Structure 1
Amino acid sequence: MIYTYLHYKKKRFELSDLMAWEIFFIILLIIILAPVRISMEIKKILGLGRGLDALFATMIGLSYLILFKLYLDIDRIEREITELTRNFSIRLKEIEDKINEKKIEKN
């Protein structure tokens, strides 16, 4: 938890990300401190046979949510890189055209 806070202070991610990770770590800490009680409660909610099965099912579901968020972030970053590359190429072409025009004018 301290590690994530230090990364937040270094501006490596936003406050919303810090809060999400802190909540995740608090939930993980609670599960570590009381695994039997937590697994039994999840078992009752999900209606599974054993508490440990319920805990695994919940963790797999959370893992898929995290994976989906990562997919969305990577997709957004790819689109931003494509847009930046496109803008850079257009700007570079404009500069090259201006340089060529000046060379032609000198000759």
Structure 2
Amino acid sequence: MPIEPNWGIKKNSDGKNTFWFGFKGHLVVTTKSQYIASRLMTSGNLSDSKTANPLLKEVENLFPGHFTTTILDARYDFEPIYRQLHEYQMRAVIHYKSE
């Protein structure tokens, strides 16, 4: 994972581009306790979806079989993420990307 500060861009709720320079923090948070189960810091321009599988792998290594369901937004609607979740026998709640 790239860890140098870099420019990131995404569209806000008004459809306008938002820019930032620096890093992004990616967290796996439990819904019951709100504890952080895993975290990853990356360059600001890295897509969120690219961090999903490494985070899922770390969670499964730290807490094998403990988590049964994952809730993710549309940025994580990619086949490799579904395959990883299936391998760990986790159910997926992922908002589909609108085309």
Flag the structure with higher strand content: 2
Structure having the higher Rg = 1
Q: Decide: shared fold, TM above 0.5.
A: no
Flag the structure with higher helix content: 1
Structure number with greater CO (CA < 8 Å, separation at least 6) is 2
TM-score normalized by structure 1? 0.24
TM-score normalized by structure 2? 0.25
